C-alpha cells in the first residue's frame, strides 16, 4: 500500500479486511510502498515519513496484527531495489508501455509523470511480491493487468535461468470497488473519501453530500438503487438493511435524505471501534514495529536475491 496518509473506507473494505483474513492461516507480508510513492510524486517528499506512520496506524487500528504479519517499509529492504534492477534487464519496454494504467495515468496526471521510474512501476510491484516468495496477492480489479505482466516476467525469468521465482496469483476482494462520495472509485486523489479517522459528525456531513440516482428527483419518485453509491455503501455498513433500502427506493417510499441518514448512522456504528482503537494507538512504537518487520523481510529477501543472482551468475 502506498503511503497516502489517512486511510479511508475503501482501504478497509477493499484490502485490509482481506489482509486480516489471510493472516489467520498464512504467512503474510504487508509493505508500505514508499518507493512507489516516488514514481508519481518524487518532488513532494516532505510528508512521506508522516504518511508512512499514518498508514501503519490505520492498519493497526483496523486489526492488522504485527505479531501475525510482517509489516515493513519498502525502502528499508534494499534487496527490493537490487532485484528490480536485475529483473529490469529482461523486461521489454513494450510490455510496460502496454499496461493500461500507464496511458490512463499519463492522461489523468499529465505527461510529466512519464519518468523511467514510473514506466517500471508494475515491475516494481512484481518485485515486491517475488522477493518475499509471495504466492497470493490481494488486489483490486485495476491492478490485475500489473499482476499479469508480473507473471509474464516470472515466466521469462524461469525459462531463461531455471525455476527460481514463484508466479503469484491474484485474490480479488469481495468489494473490489468501493464508491466514493461522487460515485467514482473511493480514492484520495479524487477527494471523495470517508476517512477512517473522520469523526461521526464529519462522516454524517460527507454522506449528506453523496450523489444518488439522478432520476430520483422528488422524495416519492421511484429510484434505481443499483446505480446509487449510497446503496452500495449500505452493503458495507449494514447488509441486513439492504433489502429494505432497495424496496423503499424502488417503490418511492424511501427518500434520499432519509436513506442517507440511515447510512450515516450505520456507517458511524461500523467505524466507531476503528476510531477508538486509532486514538488508543497514538503512543504505540510504530518505528519499533517497522524495524522488526524490516529485519524479517530482509532475511527472506536476501535469500531470494541470492538465488536469483546465482541463477543469473552475477
Ligand atoms: S433512496 Fe437511497 S438508494 Fe435510492 S437513490 Fe436515494 S439514496 Fe440512493
Cβ density class 19-54: b for 16+ within 10 Å, e for less? bbebbeeeebbbbbbbbbbbbbeeeeeeebeebbbb
Q: How many domains does the chain have?
A: 2
At residue 173 the predicted structure's pLDDT band, cuts being 50, 70 and 90, is: confident
Establish if 3 belongs to a structural domain: no
Question: Best substitution site from 217, 223, 262 to test ligand 1's pocket, by max atoms within 8 Å of Cβ?
Answer: 223
* CA dist., res. 111 & res. 137, Å (int): 30
Confidence of residue 175 (pLDDT cuts 50, 70, 90): low
The binding-site residues of ligand 1, defined as CB within 6 angstroms of any ligand atom, are: 212-213, 216, 223, 225, 228, 230-231, 245, 249, 254, 256, 259-260
Please indicate, yes or no, whether residues 209 and 248 belong to a single structural domain of this protein: yes
Residues 32 and 90 grouped into a single domain: yes
Q: Domain with 253 in it: what CATH number?
A: 1.10.240.10
The reply to whether 37 falls in a domain is: yes
Asked whether residue 204 falls in the same domain as residue 244, the answer is yes
For the CA of 210, the closest atom of ligand 1 is 7
Q: Are 118 and 39 in contact (CB under 8 A)?
A: yes
CA torsion sign for 51, 52, 53, 58 is positive
Q: What is this structure's pTM?
A: 0.89
Task: CATH number of the domain at 56, please.
Answer: 3.40.50.620
Q: What is the 226 CA–ligand 1 centroid distance (Å)? A: 9
Q: Give the residue, out of 231, 260, 267, with the most ligand 1 atoms within 8 A of its beta carbon, to mutate for a pocket test.
A: 231
Among 243, 253, 254, the mutation site with the greatest number of ligand 1 atoms within 8 A of its Cβ is 254
As a whole number, mean pLDDT of residues 307-313 equals 98
Residue pLDDT, tens place only, 39-54: 888 888 999 999 999 9
Nearest atom (ligand 1) to Cα of 260: 7
- Non-local (6+) Cβ contacts of 282 within 8 A are 57
How far does residue 271's CA lie from ligand 1's centre (Å)? 21
Instruction: State whether 247 and 212 are in the same domain.
Output: yes
The reply to whether 19 and 142 lie within a common domain is yes
Tell me whether residue 183 is in a domain.
no
* Whether residue 272 sits in one domain with residue 215: yes
- Residue 169, classed as helix, strand or coil, is strand
pLDDT at 209: 97
E strand or H helix that includes residue 162: none
**pLDDT interval class at 176 (50, 70, 90):** low
Give pLDDT tens digits for 234-254: 999 999 999 999 999 999 999
Nearest ligand 1 atom to the CA of 246 is 3
Residues 90, 239, single domain; the answer is no
Whether 74 contacts 36, CB under 8 Å: yes
Expressed as residue numbers, the domain containing 198 is 188-278
CA of 258 to the centre of ligand 1 (A): 9
- pLDDT digits 0-9 by tens, 180-210: 999 998 988 789 999 998 999 999 999 999 9
pLDDT in tens, 61-98: 999 999 999 999 999 999 999 999 999 999 999 999 99
Give the ligand 1 atom nearest the CA of 234. Answer: 3
Tell how far the Cα of 102 is from the centroid of ligand 1, in angstroms.
35
Amino acid at each position: 500500500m502506498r503511503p497516502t496518509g489517512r486511510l479511508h473506507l475503501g482501504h478497509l473494505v477493499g484490502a485490509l479486511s482481506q489482509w486480516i483474513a489471510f493472516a489467520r492461516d498464512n504467512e503474510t507480508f504487508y509493505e508500505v510502498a514508499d518507493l512507489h510513492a516516488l514514481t508519481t510524486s518524487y518532488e513532494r517528499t516532505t510528508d512521506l515519513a508522516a504518511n508512512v506512520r499514518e498508514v501503519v496506524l490505520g492498519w493497526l487500528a483496523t486489526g492488522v496484527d504485527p505479531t501475525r504479519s510482517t509489516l515493513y517499509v519498502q525502502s528499508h529492504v534494499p534487496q527490493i531495489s537490487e532485484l528490480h534492477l536485475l529483473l529490469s534487464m529482461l523486461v521489454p519496454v513494450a510490455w510496460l508501455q502496454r499496461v493500461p494504467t500507464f496511458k490512463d495515468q499519463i492522461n489523468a496526471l499529465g505527461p510529466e509523470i512519464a519518468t523511467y521510474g514510473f514506466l517500471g512501476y508494475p515491475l516494481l510491484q512484481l518485485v515486491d511480491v517475488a522477493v518475499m516468495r509471495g504466492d497470493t496477492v490481494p488486489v483490486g480489479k485495476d491492478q490485475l493487468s500489473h499482476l499479469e505482466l508480473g507473471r509474464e516476467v516470472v515466466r521469462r525469468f524461469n525459462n531463461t535461468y531455471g525455476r527460481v521465482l514463484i508466479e503469484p496469483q491474484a485474490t480479488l476482494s469481495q468489494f473490489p470497488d468501493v464508491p466514493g462520495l461522487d460515485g467514482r472509485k473511493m480514492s484520495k486523489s479524487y477527494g471523495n473519501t470517508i476517512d477512517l479517522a473522520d469523526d461521526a459528525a464529519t462522516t454524517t456531513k460527507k454522506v449528506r453530500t453523496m450523489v444518488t440516482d439522478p432520476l430520483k428527483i422528488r422524495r416519492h419518485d421511484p429510484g434505481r438503487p443499483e446505480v446509487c453509491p449510497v446503496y452500495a455503501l449500505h452493503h458495507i455498513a449494514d447488509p441486513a438493511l439492504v433489502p429494505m433500502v432497495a424496496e423503499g427506493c424502488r417503490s418511492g417510499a424511501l427518500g434520499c435524505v432519509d436513506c442517507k441518514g440511515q447510512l450515516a448512522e450505520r456507517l458511524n456504528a461500523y467505524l466507531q471501534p476503528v476510531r477508538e482503537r486509532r486514538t488508543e494507538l497514538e503512543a504505540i512504537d510504530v518505528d519499533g514495529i517497522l524495524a522488526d518487520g524490516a529485519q524479517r523481510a530482509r532475511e527472506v529477501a536476501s535469500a531470494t536475491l541470492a538465488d536469483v543472482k546465482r541463477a543469473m551468475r552475477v
